[in-house]
């Protein structure tokens, strides 16, 4: 599992670095985030959800049924959108209402 950070989109807020439970994300001399130990990422997705400019993509490998798809999140009010870009160019989306997702 791993993520990729688009340096062109990154605005250097540092939030992804602060939330990563493994301290895997660091800031480079240009003030951009990068993942120092990609193989150590266990896919908690915390960094995705913190990035307001959607600069972080999470790889959905074949072992997860993703076959190389990339996922990122976008917030829309109380709804968290999980947007999946598939290798064939198609996009799909899962919408989770954050205020209802913990109710059971
Ligand atoms: S997905 Fe989780 S473990 Fe991986 S880099 Fe992001 S915050 Fe760290
Ligand atoms: S949260 Fe996004 S914008 Fe902020 S440092 Fe991380 S990748 Fe860059």
Q: What does the alpha-carbon distance between residue 77 and residue 59 come to, in Å, rounded to a whole number?
A: 25
Q: What does the alpha-carbon distance between residue 87 and residue 100 come to, in Å, rounded to a whole number?
A: 31
With a 6 Å cutoff on the Cβ, whether 33 touches ligand 2 is yes
Q: What does the alpha-carbon distance between residue 26 and residue 9 come to, in Å, rounded to a whole number?
A: 16
The one-digit pLDDT tens for each residue of the chain (104 residues) are: 799 999 999 999 999 999 999 999 999 999 999 999 899 999 999 999 999 999 999 998 877 767 889 999 999 999 999 999 999 999 999 999 988 876 65
Helix (H, G, I), strand (E, B) or coil at 34: strand
Domain that holds residue 30: 3-97
Q: Are 65 and 86 in contact (CB under 8 A)?
A: no
pLDDT of residue 67: 84
Q: Is residue 103 part of a domain?
A: no
Q: Is residue 104 part of a domain?
A: no
Q: By alpha-carbon position, which residue is closest to atom 1 of ligand 2?
A: 51
Q: Is residue 78 part of a domain?
A: yes
Ligand 2 centroid – CA 58 distance (Å): 14
Q: Is residue 88 part of a domain?
A: yes
What's the structural domain count of the chain? 1
pLDDT of residue 103: 64
State the closest ligand 2 atom to the C-alpha of 5, by its place in the atom list counted from 1.
7
CATH number, domain at 19?
A: 3.30.70.20
pLDDT of residue 11: 98
pLDDT of residue 104: 58
pLDDT of residue 34: 97
Give, for 17, the enclosing helix (H) or strand (E). Answer: helix 15-19
């Amino acid at each position: 599992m791993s993520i990729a950070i688009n340096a062109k989109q990154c605005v250097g807020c540092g939030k992804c670095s602060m939330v990563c439970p493994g301290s895997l994300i660091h800031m480079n001399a240009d003030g951009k985030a990068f993942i120092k130990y990609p193989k150590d990422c266990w896919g908690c997705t915390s960094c995705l959800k913190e990035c307001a400019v959607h600069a972080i993509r999470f790889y959905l490998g074949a072992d997860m049924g993703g076959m190389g798809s990339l996922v990122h999140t976008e917030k829309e009010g109380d709804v968290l959108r999980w947007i999946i870009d598939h290798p064939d160019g198609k996009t799909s989306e899962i919408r989770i209402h954050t205020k209802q997702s913990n109710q059971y």
